Amino acid sequence: MIISSKKTLKALLIAIIVVFISTKSFAENPIKIMLYGDSLMAGYGLSPSENLAAELNRNFETSGSSIIIINASISGNTSKNGLSRLDWSLEDSPSIVVLSLGANDMLRGLNPELTMQNLDSIINKFKKNGSIVILAGMLASESMGPKYQSQFDGIYPELAKKYDLIFMPFLLDGVALDKKYLQADYKHPNAQGIKIMASNLYPYIIEAIAGVEFK
């Protein structure tokens, strides 16, 4: 049978990797995945069982995979905050890091150049520590104006290209503009929104796991 669909090939790759990380050797040496971000990944307004780490854990438990997810996200953090506390998080030596910071920088109207510098330093430190980085991007609100929006939105693809990262263009894809997936503040995802985020993020993590095992 000739497989012509990229989606089919990707699904096969995911299935193969899931089988690998379900074996006894990986059960004895589980892969550490760190979520490094702000309230969007920390689970603001949600119970511990509803946040992104918990939902991802359920996804991997269903597949029988040996994964440890560390939620090192803190509500309210800017990229500067994330950089200032980074050394403490490096001690966990994660194999994979899902990095998503910058939303609070944007909401506060901080200079995108400074946000980019902070994220650049964070990525550099994680990579030097041996982690594979998944960069989950953010998008600026139209209310910030076209100039700011262009500068901010360009941060993430530029860094992804510079460091050859696994790149998820928008962490809140399918969630941000749909009220049924948001809490009453219309900024933070509700439990259903988190499910979508976890589902979207899952294949990027699988891709990163392939890098851990075969690099």
* CATH code of the domain covering residue 161: 3.40.50.1110
Selected residue with higher pLDDT from 60 and 124: 124
Which residues are CB-neighbours of 51 under 8 A, at least 6 positions away? 41, 42, 43, 71, 194
State both tokens at 121.
Answer: 């330093």
Domain residue limits at 154: 31-214
Alpha-carbon torsion (88, 153, 197, 3), positive or negative? negative
Residue 25 lies in a domain: no
Whether 65 is in a domain gets the answer: yes
Q: Which residues, 6+ apart, have CB-to-CB distance to 141 below 8 Å? A: 106, 107, 149
Could you give the number of structural domains in the chain? 1
Rounded to whole angstroms, what are the CA distances from 64 to 20, 97, 115, 163, 200?
10, 21, 38, 32, 19
Looking up tokens 């069982």 gives 49
String of b and e for 52-64 (b: at least 16 CB within 10 Å)? bbbbbbebbeebe
Q: Is residue 210 part of a domain?
A: yes
Of 23-27, 69-73, 74-78, 83-87, the range with the lowest mean pLDDT is 23-27
Q: What pLDDT is recorded for position 10?
A: 53
Q: Is the residue at 116 inside a domain?
A: yes
Report pTM.
0.87
DSSP strand pairing (132-136 vs 166-168) = parallel
The amino acid at residue 137 is: G
Task: Return the pLDDT at 178.
Answer: 96
What is the average pLDDT across 191-205? Answer: 97
